[in-house]
Amino acid sequence: MAFVTAAILNSLRTAFRADFQNALQTVDPQYSQVATVVPSTTKSNTYGWLGSMPGFREWIGDRVMNSIKEHGYSITNKTFESSIAVNRDDIEDDNLGIYKPMVQELAREGAEFPDELVFALLASGWANTCYDGQYFFDTDHPVNSAHDGTGTDASVANVLVNGSYTGEPWYLLDTSRAIKPLIWQNRRNLALTTLFNPDDPAVFTSNEFQFGADLRGNAGYGFWQMAFGVKDDLNATNLWAAWKAMRAFTRDGGKKLKIRPTLLVVPASLEEAATKLLERDLLVENGAAVNNELKGKVKLLVADAL
């Protein structure tokens, strides 16, 4: 048995931080594949410019100023934490081996936590609104006939729904641009905090030292035009339908947005179907084998958090 000295606690603190940082290097979260990471310096950020990209025109005469529409879409930061207690007796008895994997797992959970928020937001896009006041996945997003919004609105859908389909939804995204379909707003990076002072109140009241990790941020929606949700069979016909619909999207005024789908996002239940659709050389159509024109057309992301 060893006395719990300041030197032992300092060594333990250093070891835990090293284990935490080393574990972070092994984690490969998925959220950055579908969400733009936006730094935040305030309690919330307002994205009033969403939906107001006017495009270029020939410069004849004076410049034409395109006012930014104030949609008022904002994302409020939230703080998230996870904490663990270390029994003082475990330190005295040099029984600390059990804590190393806990520290490593804490790092992994924290690094991947934005996945939970981002992909939960994607999955709930059928019932949550985005910058234009419509559900993120909806049948009636307003697109105006005039570039300045003074014309007539037409309803545009970024969904394909079969009422008899009972499987999980899947999603086709364009993630090639600076602004992706979703946003991860990062207010404070994941960090480890240790309370390893013999005079800490928890040592007196509970005979334990404490450590934990926390981060601050939140997820939100970007451009609905860069995402297409499907509640129907994952097959070539429906993937082509989603592809063609996205390619046809226009900005206000009728100019093509030049959307180029790059990523098929599926839950684990659809991994097999998606892999066959995007990686096999041949597909079966009407009982005959044909070349798979969709092979490699987009990348596949099997989202662990869906």
For residue range 203-227, list pLDDT tens digits in order.
878 888 898 999 999 999 999 999 9
Element (H, E) at 282: strand 282-285
Range 269-283 average pLDDT: 95
| pLDDT(124) > 90 | yes
Range 7-11 average pLDDT: 84
Range 36-47 average pLDDT: 92
- Residue partners of 246: CB distance under 8 A and separation at least 6: 158, 172, 174, 225, 226, 228, 259, 261
144 phi, psi to nearest 5 deg:
-85, 150
Q: Which of 75-89, 166-180, 279-293 has the highest mean pLDDT?
A: 166-180
Range 148-169 average pLDDT: 95
Amino acid code (one letter) for 253: G
Enumerate the domain spans of the chain: 6-302
209-234 in b/e form (b: 16+ CB < 10 A) is bbbbbbbbbbbbbbbbbbbbbbbbeb
pLDDT at residue 60, as a whole number: 56
Its pTM stands at 0.89
CA angle 174, 175, 180 (to 5 degrees): 105
Range 224-242 average pLDDT: 98
Q: Which residues sit opposite 263 in a β-bridge?
A: 173, 299
96 class by beta-carbon count within 10 Å (0-12 exposed, 13-18 middle, 19+ buried): middle
Six-digit token pair at 200? Answer: 């800490």
d(Cα 138, Cα 96) in Å, to the nearest integer? 53
Hunting for tokens 């959307």 — which residue is that?
Answer: 259
| pLDDT(11) > 90 | no
pLDDT at residue 55, as a whole number: 55
Range 183-210 average pLDDT: 88
d(Cα 106, Cα 110) in Å, to the nearest integer? 6
| pLDDT(65) > 80 | no
Hunting for tokens 């009982």 — which residue is that?
Answer: 287
